[in-house]
Structure formats: structure tokens, C-alpha cells
Structure 1
Amino acid sequence: MIEKLFKLSEHGTTMRTEVIAGITTFLTMAYIIFVNPAILADTGMDRGAVFVATCLAAAVGCFIMGFIANYPIALAPGMGLNAFFTYTVVLGMGYTWQVALAAVFASGVLFILLSLFKIREWIINSIPMSLRTGISSGIGLFLAFIALKNAGIIVDNPATLVSLGHITSLHCVLGALGFFLTIALVYRNVKGGVMIAILTISAIGLMLGDVHWGGLISMPPSIAPTFLQLDFSALLDVGMISVVFAFLFVDLFDTAGTLVGVAQKADLIGEDGKIPRLNRALLADSSATVAGALLGTSNTTSYIESAAGVATGGRTGLTAVVVGILFLFALFFAPLAGMIPAYATAGALLYVSILMLSGLVSIDWRDLTEAAPVVVTCLMMPLTSSIAEGISLGFISYAVIKLLSGKARNVSLSVWVMAAIFVVKYIAG
């Protein structure tokens, strides 16, 4: 049955190899079960319920990707999007987390429609690579800002906005140590290095009396506080339009980039240069986002960490299914997840930010009409604490700079349309 479902022999793999690949992928991305509840809890959401929603959304996404698309790509609530959900939409714009969940649901439905009507290729191909890189890198800077703040390394300052915190305090020292440990373990290719670093810093905090023991294993908490708690009442507000588009664009570009990268590493791209069953993979991603919103978490997306499993031989959807099963097992470790302090996850956030910033190397810095909008996008996200504002101003600056530089013909129709929509949003808002 497994051979028929996943075509193992056709892909030159075995069940044992796929299981090992699934375990490897899970270990590299399991940090999300600690980080996501910690971030979304800042909105007032029940941490235990978010923990359950995180594990279930990841499992659902992995099962859909594995059984329907047959790709060794794992899914879970995305980093960056969860920060946008919390610090921009809820804490920044003042919407409730129930409204934010509705926006996530709407972006998932739009993603499904774009995939069904094959509009996604037009969008992906018509958005300049520089803007896509700027969006990803800007999110990386935003995550770095949040990480430094969570560790107390930077603090609010009325005169200079932010300044250096008490660098010798316990939280700062442990947050910095967590970052150093994360980088060292990942560099040494230690499986589950990010998760090991988080647990190590939490254990040190426990020994020093800063973290209180709450147990290790228990039955999963109730998901009732977040399950089906979506509020669509404010979804048609002008301000929410950019929020839904931000969720959609970031998820779309992130998913497309991950699928291409992992498919290339797994040698799954056809002779024509196209990714087989791409539409199924995108539908798996968008369907997981819809399911995640109903459960009570931010956008569920494909994880580039899936490349770790591919590197150990994963070639089929069985790898993703194994990851999904492990996320279900993780449901019973809720007490452990509840003990993880914010400074223990700061290193993981900084590590992810480094990965997202690495794309800046592809920018042609000699062409100011390409480089300037990237810088605008990158800077405005952390400085406004809003991914949506960074995207909006990035599109507008790209269109205006190209127009004034005599390169208007190089701007695609989709960029003009999006820039115009964002201009109207600012005028109306």
C-alpha cells in the first residue's frame, strides 16, 4: 500500500530512508512548537490552545502535502507571518486576534482560488525578484528586532526609540548564549540544533530559578479557546485589505521559493524545467492555512528546513507524513512548551532572520532603481513594526522610482495595480 501511495521504488528510495528523512526534518523545525505559541500568546490568545493548533495545523499540512502532492516537504505555521499577526495586526493596528484569524483564513481562500484558476504563475512571475527578496529580507530584519527585544538586549528609549538594555542581566546573557549555541550547532550540522539550543537555555533558566518546572508530558490542552473563533466583522475595512494581501503575498512567495529550492535539491524537477504536481503542492499549502486559521494559528506554510530531510534521502510524500505523525506525538509535551521563556527562543528567531537576509546577495546593488526599493522595503518593516507597511511602501517606491528614471516599461502591470491600490489605501486611511 505504501509503495502504491508514494511510489518509493520509482523515486529510488525506501521506507527506512523516508522515515529517517522525516525524523530529520522534524528535528530541524520542531522549534516552531515552542516559538509559535510564545509569539501568538502576546495577542492574548490562550498559549495551550495555540500549542495544540500549531501541532494540528502542521500535521494537517504535512498529511495533505504527503498524500496529495507526494512531496517530501513539511509544513507548519510560518515564522515572520506569526510575528506580523501579533505585532502588526493585533498590537500595532488594534484588531482583535479573532479578526486577525479571519484575515489569515481569507488569505488562504484567496491562495486556493489563485491556484485553482492558475493566476499564481502570473503573480509570481510579474513581481520583480528584487521586491520579493526585499520582502523576505525585511521580514528577517523584523524577526531580528523582535528577538533582540525578547531577550532584553534592546529596550524602549523615548529619546532614541531603542537603546541597549542591561547587557549583563540574566535574560540578556542567556538570550545571547542561546544565539551563539544555535549558530554553532547548526554550523556543525547537529540534527535538531535549534531545538537543542532552546531546551538548553530553558534548562539553564530552570537551574537558576528563573523558569519554574511545570512537568514534561500530559494530555493535550483544550483547543476550545481558539477553535473556530474567527471574526469576519472587520474584514472589509480598508486597513484590512493590505493585511490580507500581506498574508497572501508572503505566503505565496515563501511557498514558491521553498518548493523550487527543495525540489531542486531532491532532483524532482522535470526535464522541461517545471515542477511536477506543483498545483497540488500549492493547494496543500493554501488548504493548510485555511485549516490552521480554523484551529487558531497564523498562516501555515512550507518549510525550507525540509531540505534537511531531503539531504538524508527523502524523496516522497512519506517523509512529510512521518513529520506530521511526529507533530501529533508532540501534542503530549505541552507542559514543556509552556515553560519555554521568551529569551530562550530569541536565538532561533535570530537564526531564521539570518537565513531570510541571505537573499540580499542576489540584488544588483549597482542598479539603484532595483536596490533602492529593496532598502525601503527592508527598513520600513522593522521601523514601522509592520510587514504590510513595508510591502506597501516597497511597491509604491518601485513604481515611482522606475517611472521617474525612465524605466516605466520595465514595470509589470501587477506592480502598477498593487502600487495604485496601496496609494489609495493611504489616501483613504
Structure 2
Amino acid sequence: MFENYFQLKKHNTDVRTEFMAGLTTFLTMAYILAVNPGILGKTGMDPHAIFTATALGSIVATLVMALYANLPFALAPGMGLNAFFAFTVVLGMGYSWEFALTAVFLEGIIFILLTFFKIRELIVDAIPLTIKHAISAGIGLFIAFIGLHGAGIVVSDKATLVTLGNLNNPTAWIALSGLLITGILLALRIKGALIWGIFASTLIGIPLGITHFPHASLVQLPPSIAPIFFKFQWHHILTINMLIILFTFLFVDMFDTVGTLVGVASKANMLTKEGKLPGINKALLADAIGTTFGAMVGTSTVTTYVESAAGVAEGGRTGLTALTTAILFILALFLAPVFLMVPEAATAPVLIVVGSFMMSPVQKINFADYTESIPAFLTIITMPLAYSIADGIAFGMISYVILKVLSGRHNDVNWMMYILTALFILKFIL
């Protein structure tokens, strides 16, 4: 059944590989179940209801990705977008969380229309192949930085912005031990090396007091979403502030999703010779449906997760990987204490290792051509330093257009790139 539906042999994979890949993806992104309620809860929303909404939004979007697009990517409410929702729109600008949910809902509807008319696919196809390879490498540095910071190996510092953290602490020990174990398993070509690395790190955390067994019942009914379900507010939707809020949601979600899809697919050799991702429109529709449904049940923008790179690195190539992740999100609704006992320090090594995997497409960049290499470099370096995939793409594409035009090579630039560059500049001005 799985073979026929997901075409496993065609994609040179099997059920076990896809399952392990889906499990790996889930474990590296399950933190959103704990983090999202904490962030959105600061707006006055019910954190317990947000937990359920987060899981439901992730389940529906990832199922569409699995069963409709047949691609190995998982989706959930996006980090950064949830912070913009809570700290900028609600706490900063003073709007209600109901108003912010309305903006997310409108964003989803617009994305469905843009996807239906294949405008988002047109945008993806317009991105130069050099930038697509750079996106993969930039995402690699970005997720490696997330892993290093989450493990406390790299920390914030006023004088130097970032610095080496205190390695003499249990969290760092777990992450470094897990990194070593995962590296050895990979070198020995052990199947499922990434997932075994997570399990080993979780076990190491028990005597160190980082991994905590659940005190409550392992099986729990999910909290009701009634306090946040379909809570839209249509006042002020025709204001300039709404347009700015909506544009920001649209911009960040579109290019975070595009960046993740293209970057991970580039690393997995899923792109065609022309740099296109087969089924991209279906994948973008999964993102649009997820965002719309997520707003209805009460959560911020749902987007394709960069942690999907961990599952792809584990060998995931089809929708069966995403289906496995979706099923685990369903189980998490009832077994949340079990899944949430995996500490961040245990998943950090996987993000660091996968970050190194994602760097390989830089070999395809022509560094002898400065109109190609400089935009590629800016794409790569901006993602971790600005902590944003979307901003990395923006810097890369703006510089690509300017360098090509001023060096007399405007024929290398797709007409859509001019429009996107104008929108990027507008975004930074706003």
C-alpha cells in the first residue's frame, strides 16, 4: 500500500527509512508544542488551548504535505512569526490577539489564491540556481546556530554579540556527547544514526538531571480549543497598520517556506536540472491550508519547518516521512508528557550535524563569477546572523539583481526578480 501510494522505489527509499526520517523530524521540532503556548500565551490567550491548536495546525498541514504533495516536509506554527504575532502586533501595537488571528487568517486565504494561480510557484522558479544552492548552505548555518545556542554552547554577549558559553554544565555535556555519538554512528554508516543520537542524548540527560520523567499521567485528553476557536475580529482590517501587519506575515511566511523547500530539496538532490522542485505548488498549498486552518483553531502562521532537513538527512524522500511526523503529532495530543521529556540538548546535536550536511551545495556555486558568488555569500551569511531565512533570501536577491544590472548582464535576470527586489526593498523601508 505504502509503495504504490508514495512510490517508494521510484524515490530509492523504503518504509523503515521513511519512518525513521519522520520520527527524526518530529523529535527535532516537537519543541514547538511547548514553546508556542508560552509565546502566544503572553497575549492573554489560553496556553492549554494553544497547545491543542498548535498540534492540530501541524497535523492538518503536514497531512496535506504527505498525502497531496508526497513530499517529506513537516509543518507547524513558525518561530519568529509567533513572536511577531505576540510581541509586535499584540503587545507592541496594542491590538487584540483576536485581531492578530484575523490577520493570519487573511494571510492564509491570500496564499491559497496565490497558490491557485501559481504565483508562488512563479516566484520560486524565478530564484536563480546559485541563490537556491546558497539558501541550502545558509539554512545549514542557521539550524546549526539554533542547535549550538539551544545547547548553551554558544550564548549571547553584549561585547561580542555571541561568544562561547560555559561548557562546564550538564546541558553542554549532553549536547557534546550526543554530537560525538551521532558523528561516530554516521561514520560507521549506522542506519538511523540521527534518531539513535537523540535517544542516547536523552538517556545521558537522566543522571545529569536534564531529562525529567513525567510526573502526571502519560495519557491525557487534549485541552479544549473553545477559548480561541474561530475568534476573529474584523474591526480595523482596512487600516494601514493591518496592511503592514499582513504584508509582514505574507513576506516572512512566503520566503521562509520557499527557502526551506528549496534549500532542503537542493541538499537532497530533489531539484531538477533547471532548479525546479517537482510538486512545489502542492507543497505551497499545504502551507497555505495550514495557515488558514491554524488561524481558525487559534494559532499563529503555520509554515514549513527547517527541521525537516533532519528527516531528509535521515533518508526521507516521500510523503511517508511527513505522514509519520503527522501521526506522531496526533499521538502527542494524548501523550504530550512522553514527547516533551526529550530535552532541547538532546536534539541540538542533530541540528548541528544536519547543518554540516546542508553546506555541500556551495560546491555548485561559481565563486569565480562575483555577480554569482557575492549574492550567494550574502544569502548564506545573513541567515544565521539576522536569524531569518527570509532576510537572507532578500539580501541575496537584491544584490544579485543590482550586480547583474550594473555589470551589464541584465539578461541573466528573470523579470520576476525585478518585482521581488522592489518588494524586498519596500519591506525593509516599511
Within a 5 Å distance, the mapping from 1:303-314 to structure 2 comes to: 303=308, 305=311
Identity in percent:
34
> Are the structure 2 counterparts of residues 394 and 350 from structure 1 closer, same or farther at C-alpha, using a change threshold of 3 Å?
same
1:418 aligned residue: 420
Mapped partners of 1:264, 1:396: distance in 2 = 26
1:369: Cα distance to partner? 0.8
1:31 aligned residue: 27
TM-score if structure 2 supplies the norm length? 0.75
Please tell me the residue identity of whatever aligns with 1:358: S
Please tell me the residue identity of whatever aligns with 1:168: N
Match of 1:212, SS state, is coil
1:288: Cα distance to partner? 3.1
1:282: Cα distance to partner? 4.5
Checking the alignment, whether the CA contact within 8 Å between 1:112 and 1:283 is kept in structure 2 is yes
Checking the alignment, whether the CA contact within 8 Å between 2:22 and 2:316 is kept in structure 1 is no
Out of 343, 346, 365, the residue aligned to residue 341 of structure 1 is 343
Report whether the alignment pairs 1:218 with 2:230: no
Report whether the alignment pairs 1:59 with 2:59: yes
1:344: Cα distance to partner? 2.6
> Are the structure 2 counterparts of residues 355 and 37 from structure 1 closer, same or farther at C-alpha, using a change threshold of 3 Å?
farther
> Are the structure 2 counterparts of residues 227 and 340 from structure 1 closer, same or farther at C-alpha, using a change threshold of 3 Å?
farther
Please tell me the residue identity of whatever aligns with 2:147: A
Please tell me the residue identity of whatever aligns with 2:428: Y
Out of 292, 298, 302, the residue aligned to residue 299 of structure 1 is 302
Mapped partners of 1:320, 1:147: distance in 2 = 22
Checking the alignment, whether the CA contact within 8 Å between 2:136 and 2:264 is kept in structure 1 is no
Report whether the alignment pairs 1:144 with 2:144: yes
Match of 2:340, SS state, is helix
Checking the alignment, whether the CA contact within 8 Å between 1:136 and 1:357 is kept in structure 2 is yes
Checking the alignment, whether the CA contact within 8 Å between 1:144 and 1:353 is kept in structure 2 is yes
1:288 aligned residue: 290
> Are the structure 2 counterparts of residues 421 and 354 from structure 1 closer, same or farther at C-alpha, using a change threshold of 3 Å?
same
Please tell me the residue identity of whatever aligns with 1:150: G
1:350 aligned residue: 352
1:335: Cα distance to partner? 0.8
Mapped partners of 2:5, 2:156: distance in 1 = 58
1:175: Cα distance to partner? 2.0
> Are the structure 2 counterparts of residues 175 and 369 from structure 1 closer, same or farther at C-alpha, using a change threshold of 3 Å?
same
1:292: Cα distance to partner? 3.8
Mapped partners of 2:276, 2:397: distance in 1 = 28
Match of 2:242, SS state, is coil
Structure 1 unaligned regions, length at least 5: none
Checking the alignment, whether the CA contact within 8 Å between 2:268 and 2:312 is kept in structure 1 is yes
Q: Which moved more, 1:222-231 or 1:136-145?
A: 222-231
Mapped partners of 1:210, 1:231: distance in 2 = 42
Checking the alignment, whether the CA contact within 8 Å between 2:171 and 2:345 is kept in structure 1 is yes
Within a 5 Å distance, the mapping from 1:83-232 to structure 2 comes to: 83-85=79-81, 105-186=105-186, 188=188, 190=190, 192-215=192-215, 217-222=218-223, 224=225, 228=230
Checking the alignment, whether the CA contact within 8 Å between 1:152 and 1:171 is kept in structure 2 is yes
Report whether the alignment pairs 1:401 with 2:406: no
Mapped partners of 1:258, 1:10: distance in 2 = 19
Report whether the alignment pairs 1:236 with 2:242: yes
1:126: Cα distance to partner? 1.5
Mapped partners of 2:204, 2:96: distance in 1 = 33
1:300: Cα distance to partner? 4.1
Out of 252, 277, 283, the residue aligned to residue 258 of structure 2 is 252
Checking the alignment, whether the CA contact within 8 Å between 1:137 and 1:356 is kept in structure 2 is yes
Please tell me the residue identity of whatever aligns with 1:169: N
1:319: Cα distance to partner? 7.3
Please tell me the residue identity of whatever aligns with 2:289: S
Please tell me the residue identity of whatever aligns with 1:85: L
Out of 59, 76, 99, the residue aligned to residue 74 of structure 2 is 76
1:122: Cα distance to partner? 2.3
Q: Which moved more, 1:167-176 or 1:386-395?
A: 386-395
Q: Which moved more, 1:298-307 or 1:156-165?
A: 298-307
1:164: Cα distance to partner? 1.3
> Are the structure 2 counterparts of residues 390 and 213 from structure 1 closer, same or farther at C-alpha, using a change threshold of 3 Å?
same
Mapped partners of 1:275, 1:164: distance in 2 = 38
Structure 2 unaligned regions, length at least 5: none
2:378 aligned residue: 376
* Structure 1 residues 314-367: Cα deviation after superposition (integer angstroms, max 9, x where no partner): 7xx677656544442343321123333332332233234334333322211111
Checking the alignment, whether the CA contact within 8 Å between 1:107 and 1:248 is kept in structure 2 is no
Checking the alignment, whether the CA contact within 8 Å between 2:256 and 2:389 is kept in structure 1 is no
Mapped partners of 1:132, 1:274: distance in 2 = 10
Match of 1:163, SS state, is strand
Match of 2:304, SS state, is strand
* Structure 1 residues 160-186: Cα deviation after superposition (integer angstroms, max 9, x where no partner): 112111122222222222333334445
Alignment RMSD: 4.2
> Are the structure 2 counterparts of residues 33 and 259 from structure 1 closer, same or farther at C-alpha, using a change threshold of 3 Å?
closer
> Are the structure 2 counterparts of residues 301 and 190 from structure 1 closer, same or farther at C-alpha, using a change threshold of 3 Å?
farther
> Are the structure 2 counterparts of residues 414 and 63 from structure 1 closer, same or farther at C-alpha, using a change threshold of 3 Å?
same
Checking the alignment, whether the CA contact within 8 Å between 2:332 and 2:339 is kept in structure 1 is no
> Are the structure 2 counterparts of residues 92 and 401 from structure 1 closer, same or farther at C-alpha, using a change threshold of 3 Å?
farther
Mapped partners of 2:6, 2:81: distance in 1 = 41
Report whether the alignment pairs 1:43 with 2:46: no
1:368: Cα distance to partner? 0.9
> Are the structure 2 counterparts of residues 248 and 200 from structure 1 closer, same or farther at C-alpha, using a change threshold of 3 Å?
same
Checking the alignment, whether the CA contact within 8 Å between 1:374 and 1:394 is kept in structure 2 is yes
Checking the alignment, whether the CA contact within 8 Å between 1:104 and 1:247 is kept in structure 2 is no
1:390: Cα distance to partner? 2.7
Mapped partners of 2:8, 2:180: distance in 1 = 38
> Are the structure 2 counterparts of residues 101 and 7 from structure 1 closer, same or farther at C-alpha, using a change threshold of 3 Å?
same
Mapped partners of 2:86, 2:351: distance in 1 = 20
TM-score if structure 1 supplies the norm length? 0.75
Mapped partners of 1:247, 1:291: distance in 2 = 15
Instruction: Number of aligned residue pairs: give it.
Output: 407
* Structure 1 residues 191-213: Cα deviation after superposition (integer angstroms, max 9, x where no partner): 55444433433333332234433
Mapped partners of 2:172, 2:267: distance in 1 = 35
